[in-house]
Amino acid sequence: MVPRDAQGALAAPTPVVRQAHAAGLFVHPYTFRPENSFLPKALQTGGDEATRSPSGMEREVQAFIAAGIDGFFTDDPALGRRAVDTRGR
């Protein structure tokens, strides 16, 4: 998947997705949420843990998509859709 480094930023993807696919499995991580408490530090927005960071969630989802996931779960489907639609822009 996409681990976090010591500073709380997204790190390089691990081989987990590739290995799962090689074993004939699909990868659907859950649950992406836009609140700071669920995001890597580098993707959080100022405020407390309950503060929402829509752009942070979008970037996190996009990193997982780039790592090759097959789908994902989120508590905010509109943000999930936007992450898919704006990927690579």
Q: List pLDDT tens digits, range 31-80.
A: 999 999 999 999 999 889 999 999 999 999 999 999 999 999 999 999 99
CA distance 63 to 28: 13
pTM of the shown model: 0.90
Task: Give the count of domains, the chain.
Answer: 1
- The answer to the question of residue 7 being in a domain is no
Determine, yes or no, domain membership for 56.
Answer: yes
**How many Cα atoms are found within 13 Å in the side-chain-facing hemisphere of 40?**
19
Residue 6 lies in a domain: no
Answer yes or no: is 66 within a domain: yes
CB-based burial, 70-86: b 16+ in 10 Å, e otherwise: eebebebeebbebbeee
Structure token digits, residue 63: 């990193």
Range of the domain at 69: 16-85
Question: Is there a domain that residue 11 lies in?
Answer: no
In a domain, residue 60? The reply is yes
* Domain membership flag for residue 2: no
